Amino acid sequence: MREIIIATKNKGKVRDFEQLFSNKDIRVKSLLDFPELPEVEETGTTFTENAIIKAEAISKKFKKIVIADDSGLSVDALSGQPGVYSARYAGPNKSDEENIQKLLKELEGVPQAERTGRFHCALALVIPNGETHIVEGTCEGLITDEPIGEHGFGYDPIFFVEALGKTMAELTSEQKNEISHRANALQKLVPLVDKLL
């Protein structure tokens, strides 16, 4: 059975990948299986660069196939911020709630029509012989004035998906998995994995 390491400690992301590969005779491991590993420093200026840095570092260490993702929210009225700093927008040890509050404060007075943005996901797949493959996915939306909904994580409560008339945090996990940036990227990853493996 082939083994793929997902370069994340996020249980939600690990679940997504386990579902994706459940019928492919692939065993999924994650960084949760290697608690002794030091954090890989994400020094890239784009989601793609960070995904590549993580995937290549872990693949080099274990000589295995590795998939890493870097994702976040880019808001047009803020020149693409928070971007690669999405998880630590309000500071290195801040919560989702604090990140949301900072973003809403920065958007005070910006009219609804100009509060456009997108979630972006870059996935890097590294084969131990040195090949690196990239797939990306996005999901367009509007930033609300206040958090709405109880599901999801991160910026989901303030990200309004116009096509569904709801924020990401109001969607079921099944609905979110049909339209999210990660779902879009994962759909492109499947044929790539099939071809390479």
Q: Residue 48: pLDDT above 80?
A: yes
60/151 Cα distance (integer angstroms): 36
pLDDT score for 136: 97
Q: For position 80, which CATH number holds?
A: 3.90.950.10
Distances (CA, A) of 120 to 60, 81, 84: 26, 12, 10
Q: Residue 116's beta-bridge partner residues?
A: 142
Domain count, the chain: 1
11/69 Cα distance (integer angstroms): 13
Residues identified as active-site: 70
CA angle 27, 1, 71 (to 5 degrees): 30
Mean pLDDT of the chain: 92
Confidence label for 72 from pLDDT (cuts 50, 70 and 90): very high
Average pLDDT over residues 102-115: 97
Residue 61: which domain range?
2-196
pLDDT digit string, tens, across residues 119-151 = 999 999 999 877 899 999 999 999 999 999 998
pLDDT digit string, tens, across residues 149-165 = 998 889 999 999 999 99
Q: Are 117 and 106 in contact (CB under 8 A)?
A: no
